[in-house]
Structure 1
């Protein structure tokens, strides 16, 4: 594989946007990120988070040994020809088909008609060129012309991705014609009906509009089961492929797990040992423990462990070995809820610092606890990806199949860690129970459930499973309203504030809370602006402002009158003007939202949880 640098992305983007199997649309070419078996493992720094690793193993298997950061360079590289300049994630050009911007020639880049022009000093200028192009009419002086990726691809729900079958499409199926193909425009606009492909030899031509919709199924071949990031074809894919555009959001959806690094032991030292168990599991005595502590201090892989002696660490290791590891079901939020709602929440741990705050005046009937998290850490792991439909598109057991990130069962997975701060609100269980028994909330729950059933039925899924319940819809909406209000005052942009909704009532614990937190890869996530707004006098003002803004939406009466049953949607009185937030902030893609559950609206006045205010 060529060692030509072609661009840069942030480490977090390799988990959420440009992970293995995803297309990176660079200024002059498009590449696909290769599977993790091609990554330079020695450059991928381990991340210690025992709880997340345990849950990853339950999904991918016990062979997973570690969570690791994407490969990073040690410093800013000056010499583009040095070995350090070659550190990064391997990619290859995809799609293979390129188009000349002057003559419209369509051809694979490996057919010899296009040439790669590398630029090590300016990697973003690396591009393909059409050598000796004479223009569309052939009467110009031959000169090199830029070649850009063909903008059409094939993808299926199994996660396969393939080049668009240009010859098949133009000739209406298998054909012996090997003529040169040209891509041209016939109108002023760039709508698909004005984009055409023509064969120079037999003059066959077809509009790209015939590649989409129902007619596209008749003009496209079956799925070949191609995984370009693994250089592999799979046999027997029965999914119907569909044409997608290069750069479209439905080309790659990450399947991830995320946890908050919470204390699960009785002391900070025990937590250190649990978090860094991969470093301590082979230690046999206090001398070896001291040596490991010294190494960790130099490598800064477990900050804070150097405050303890070798003897103390050895005693903690023995205590950890004497404990038992539970085999409970996959539960990411349950342990977090236990810590956040404990009578004496942890106050000063390596990645978790909390402080109790008073409930804002006037909200005592609705809130039972406010906890300010001055320090927290979120760790995310990439398990796989889907195409065409997002991982939570079907919900429950009918989720879209997860495509692999490597050729074999992985023994490590890409992960990122971010630090931040947050505000945790626990709602009164009695208030929620009394509210849910009202006729208004029950009527709104019925409407949301009908929308949920219709939404799933339109996608060929069992209509009943997956509905999160009325409590989740209420807490989810409150979280969105509060995020929008906090973004105006806290100093963070709205996309950097996230939510975590605790609304599980089926595991024997009645959860009822929301965590609003920031998370950034550097110190920007812990500036203190969010915790300051969690103090009673500030939180009271923000909650009242959020509720006041929710009463009337700029899109009312259309927003307030929206019925999820009529269009089989997953939200009721909600829109971008009142309660939607960015996709990076929401847990479930702006679904299951309804302002009428929070505050009386123009359409519904008897379903509001905060009706007393």
Structure 2
């Protein structure tokens, strides 16, 4: 293995060019190895307690990086050349051989032609393995008994060529692998049929390209292979997890539980054990603490016995922290989580919009840690390959991670208005379409949020706002990220959006989003985003659709109106619907009436 220096942005080493991904650089096709190959001395550890609480045992490490000119001993990530089979663009020779020039590996043939990686590779359908197609073996197989003895026994390994035959059209039939030793040839159209590799006796080796060969002998893989194009998106599906580095706040419901338990009359209510006095005492406690008797009785009965049960995932703690910040006004504290809470009292805009928004937070500074947990290939339900395949993978695995510093806008919606809208029959009926589609896909039910009406509406609104912010903030839409807080099943119901940008190679950003988080600017941007979404270049097909996008997990949403970069969306551009935002066709939208109010101009008599 020789060190060949190429430059990648730090964030790209997590996704899309993380462990197990194919990277095309300067005519070469390379694949990143797992973290057990890293030199830990040059991979600094990153701290994020909230993220490690989710991942479990292990350590977060930043990939080895460098800036400027790279020397011989400069720390770097190890990459493997994959696929190994390449053909010469000048003489068409197909081989795995790599020449050397002046003692270094050279990407040129003996005839000085450039070596080009083969466009097809073999991917395991369920095991997430990937391997070269053994072109010599494949080319001398097929057609069973029709093959002559000369073809079956051919050993002319250096005589195979890959070329295009113009007389066969423009499809895969025109791409032919031919052996000049025995004269046999096959077109690539014979490669991509169902079960083609199995019929030719080609089996999965059960390992990743950088793993040693003895690994497959210890772990044979029984799953079939499929021939796919080297650059197909399904060859690498990264499973990334991220967390905001914020002070974990206890949800309001947990604080209420503590206040109820600490009330002087609480012991009398519990001792009565459901008797006539307990109901009366519960009413006293509820009135004094400004809550309901049902909540007080639930605490007494032990239904909310542990406040830790409220922190079910990363977003619960983040939501509680953002709510506290938005209620606190200007944030004068220093650190990596600075949010100025803004009131809508002085904001001007459509009443139908202002009554839905509860508060705005200008996120002056936020730190996010992103980690790569693993990846899958070919099928979203295939086995997850961990980022650490070394001997310590179960005891203390290493996860590639980067820390990002940036800014953003937090938008909190009124829970009363949200619950009232969400309870409408037509709204529930519309959302049930996506619920059924999600339930039919095993991977989606495990990895995607439940498409409750509030989630679909806020998720779609987030996309619309990101598209609009790209025109106003100075950031490209691909540089913006979203985080949706929309869960009606928690004791502390959530209904909010965080749109932020973060850079891994800088200590902050330029303030473009924070400026637009001013209430007067943000309300205007929301109206503009709704106006943009009201007209789609694919209408009326788009607005009337109830089945679009990847895995049919979108309703009225397409590239003309609602979709953004998949790296910016937390669900990969799924679970979107404009109609649950704008309304129409017997469906009441969350922000229905806003555009009508804006466009209504009073006529002076």
TM-score normalised according to structure 1 size: 0.77
Tell me which of 184, 191, 201 is aligned to 2:163: 184
Structure with higher Rg: it is 2
User: What secondary structure does 2:113 align onto?
Assistant: strand
* Per-residue Cα deviation, 1:144-188 (whole angstroms, up to 9, x for no partner): 322222221111242211001213322336954323321111138
User: What secondary structure does 1:573 align onto?
Assistant: coil
Alignment of 1:290-329 (within 5 A): none
| Whole-angstrom distance in 2 between the partners of 1:228 and 1:93 | 9
Change (3 A) 1:612 1:147: closer
1:357 alignment partner in structure 2? 342
1:588 shift after superposition: 0.7
2:107 alignment partner in structure 1? 128
1:598 alignment partner in structure 2? 581
1:215 shift after superposition: 5.4
Change (3 A) 1:347 1:116: farther
1:440 shift after superposition: 2.3
2:511 alignment partner in structure 1? 528
* Per-residue Cα deviation, 1:283-304 (whole angstroms, up to 9, x for no partner): xxxxxxxxxxxxxxxxxxxxxx
1:192 shift after superposition: 2.0
| Whole-angstrom distance in 2 between the partners of 1:428 and 1:223 | 54
Change (3 A) 1:445 1:95: same
Tell me which of 207, 230, 243 is aligned to 1:246: 230
User: What secondary structure does 2:83 align onto?
Assistant: coil
Change (3 A) 1:550 1:605: farther
1:481 alignment partner in structure 2? 464
| Whole-angstrom distance in 1 between the partners of 2:39 and 2:431 | 51
| Whole-angstrom distance in 1 between the partners of 2:445 and 2:590 | 31
User: What secondary structure does 2:364 align onto?
Assistant: strand
| Whole-angstrom distance in 2 between the partners of 1:56 and 1:407 | 17
* Per-residue Cα deviation, 1:115-143 (whole angstroms, up to 9, x for no partner): 034798xxxxx742222x4xxxxxxxxxx
Alignment of 1:83-98 (within 5 A): 83-84=73-74, 87-98=75-86
The alignment status of 1:71 with 2:64, answered yes or no, reads yes
1:103 shift after superposition: 2.1
Question: Over the residues paired in the alignment, what is the CA RMSD in angstroms?
Answer: 3.0
The alignment status of 1:39 with 2:20, answered yes or no, reads no
The alignment status of 1:145 with 2:113, answered yes or no, reads yes
Alignment of 1:530-549 (within 5 A): 530-549=513-532
| Whole-angstrom distance in 2 between the partners of 1:99 and 1:465 | 42
1:422 alignment partner in structure 2? 408
1:335 alignment partner in structure 2? 317
Tell me, yes or no, if the aligned pair for 1:424 and 1:516 is still in contact at 8 Å: yes
* Per-residue Cα deviation, 1:558-588 (whole angstroms, up to 9, x for no partner): 1112221899611011111100001121011
1:440 alignment partner in structure 2? 426
Change (3 A) 1:489 1:261: same
User: What secondary structure does 1:227 align onto?
Assistant: coil
- Give unmatched runs, 5+ long, in structure 1: 121-125, 134-143, 267-324
User: What secondary structure does 1:554 align onto?
Assistant: coil
| Whole-angstrom distance in 1 between the partners of 2:102 and 2:342 | 58
Tell me, yes or no, if the aligned pair for 1:55 and 1:330 is still in contact at 8 Å: no
Number of aligned residue pairs: give it: 512
Tell me which of 93, 104, 123 is aligned to 1:105: 93
2:122 alignment partner in structure 1? 154
1:141 alignment partner in structure 2? none
* Per-residue Cα deviation, 1:449-478 (whole angstroms, up to 9, x for no partner): 344356x28x9x989997432221111101
1:489 shift after superposition: 0.5
Tell me, yes or no, if the aligned pair for 1:21 and 1:405 is still in contact at 8 Å: no
Change (3 A) 1:193 1:452: farther
User: What secondary structure does 1:503 align onto?
Assistant: strand
User: What secondary structure does 1:197 align onto?
Assistant: strand
2:496 alignment partner in structure 1? 513
| Whole-angstrom distance in 2 between the partners of 1:333 and 1:118 | 56
| Whole-angstrom distance in 2 between the partners of 1:462 and 1:502 | 18
User: What secondary structure does 2:194 align onto?
Assistant: helix
- Give unmatched runs, 5+ long, in structure 2: 145-151, 251-306, 595-605
| Whole-angstrom distance in 1 between the partners of 2:586 and 2:332 | 42
Change (3 A) 1:329 1:402: farther
The alignment status of 1:500 with 2:483, answered yes or no, reads yes
| Whole-angstrom distance in 1 between the partners of 2:249 and 2:439 | 43
| Whole-angstrom distance in 2 between the partners of 1:387 and 1:507 | 34
User: What secondary structure does 1:129 align onto?
Assistant: coil
